[in-house]
Structure 1
Amino acid sequence: MSAERSTLGTLLRALRSREGWTLKQMSEKSGIPVSTLSKVEHDRLTLSYDKLQSLAQRLGMRMSELFAENAGDTGAPVTARRSLGDISRSVRVETPNYDYYYLCTELRRKRMIPVLTKIRARSAEQFGDLVHHSGEEFIYVLRGKVVVQTEFYDPVTLEAGQSLYIDSSMGHAYLAAEGCDEAEVLGVMSSSEENLMDAMLNLHEERR
């Protein structure tokens, strides 16, 4: 029997069920209105990064624990894992520069983080400081044009169908090219660190 698709709504429902909370109790603990939580649980609404961070803090959790139903599972990794993912099964995180749609979130301790990203920032000034984090990453442009700025290379413009692989510890930024209101890329980030998801979510926090 196939597992229930992993959206933010299913993850919050699983968390609430695990803790034995009613919607009202979760509202009181999180500070988020019952009506809002109900819409999120039924996938009619998502939460911004700030709201997700506030929810995790008030519930005494790490952000990454909101992204997996079996957050308490710390056993050895299981081989032959498989996860089917699309945007309707993703967990969305909004930031000033990007909308991230994290895919295959039900898998714990992943060494790769697949994410669909919608890029809105159109200038270095709007984006802010270049991003650095551990590991490597690959992006493939699905729609629009993307200007990639990196610490040690001249900016490069990628069109739909083009891709780039970089060392993520090198400062980098992805911008929507001139004349493009929004670009969309599929990215995969990898690291030898097992807490890569935590690191990525902490990076969102640092850039608020």
Structure 2
Amino acid sequence: MSSLNPTLGALLRGLRARQGWTLKEMSEKSGIPISTLSKVEHDRLTLTYDKLQQVSRRLGLRMSELFAEPAEDAVQPVTARRSLGDVSRAVRVETPNYDYYYLCTELRRKRMIPVLTKIRAKSVEQFGDLVHHAGEEYIYVLRGRVTVVTDHYDPVTLDEGQSIYIDSNMGHAYLAGEGCDEAEVLGVMSSADDELMRALFTIHEEQKRAEPIASAVPTKSRRKVSVI
């Protein structure tokens, strides 16, 4: 099973073996502590988004390679896979508008990308340009109120327990609804496009660069939870 669906740990372990590096040498090259690398290689720990960026930059890997196998590989049938979602092991991405917690990141070639999102932006002006990417997505409101803004429909506000399914190619934004400082949603994104994860990370980087636009976001909700 692991040969068809390698984990992040297997990918890093295989890379280290191909290069003939010891764990200490891998640590020196990636900037990740030996103890952390050992746990990742044995699938007992994952890495935060910032650490994944650091590893990919220092080792010359594309970010997408840490989440998907090379596209040229033949597609293998997927059976009996499972992954337990745990926020403490999620890959966290923090932007001015959202905090994303990517779940079940050890699985490769996922047909769905599950993500827990905390939403802070309260207006389109604060949010900036609407985002769009390949595929479709579904969100379910866990806490607070969420206003969904899209290119082709009037804004709609969802309360706890309500949900929406949209075409992700359509420009869209999720905002904290009136009277809500921070909302929390569970989302699932799906696409046949192998580059969906790369497209999402590109959006995250654009949102990070837009930090000055979102300077009015309350800081009390921006506490950072480190995975390592």
TM-score by length of 2: 0.70
8 Å CA contact 1:109, 1:195 repeated in 2? no
SS at match of 1:207: helix
* Residue correspondence of structure 1 range 28-177 to structure 2 within 5 A: 28-30=28-30, 32=31, 34=33, 47=48, 49-67=49-67, 71=69, 74-88=73-87, 89-177=89-177
8 Å CA contact 2:133, 2:196 repeated in 1? no
Shift of 1:46: 5.8
SS at match of 2:152: coil
1:5-53 per-residue CA deviation (whole Å, 9 max, x = no partner) reads xxxxx84x545433155565345423x4649957x9575x963x45533
Aligned CA distance change for structure 1 residues 56 and 151 (closer, same or farther; 3 Å): same
Q: Counterpart amino acid of 1:80?
A: T
Please name the residue that 2:192 is paired with: 192
In structure 2, runs of 5+ residues without a counterpart are 209-228
SS at match of 1:85: coil
Aligned CA distance change for structure 1 residues 15 and 80 (closer, same or farther; 3 Å): closer
Rg bigger for which structure? 2
> What is the RMSD computed on CA atoms of the aligned residues?
3.1
Aligned CA distance change for structure 1 residues 114 and 200 (closer, same or farther; 3 Å): same
Shift of 1:154: 1.8
Aligned CA distance change for structure 1 residues 152 and 82 (closer, same or farther; 3 Å): same
Q: 1:17 aligns with which of 7, 13, 19?
A: 13
Identity within the alignment, %: 64
More displaced 10-residue stretch of structure 1: 18-27 or 168-177: 18-27
The alignment of Structure 1 onto Structure 2 pairs a total of residues equal to 195
8 Å CA contact 2:102, 2:114 repeated in 1? yes
In structure 1, runs of 5+ residues without a counterpart are 4-9
Aligned CA distance change for structure 1 residues 79 and 199 (closer, same or farther; 3 Å): same
8 Å CA contact 1:143, 1:183 repeated in 2? yes
Aligned CA distance change for structure 1 residues 108 and 50 (closer, same or farther; 3 Å): closer
Shift of 1:178: 2.9
The CA distance in 1 between the partners of 2:192 and 2:120, in whole Å, is: 30
8 Å CA contact 1:111, 1:196 repeated in 2? no
TM-score by length of 1: 0.76
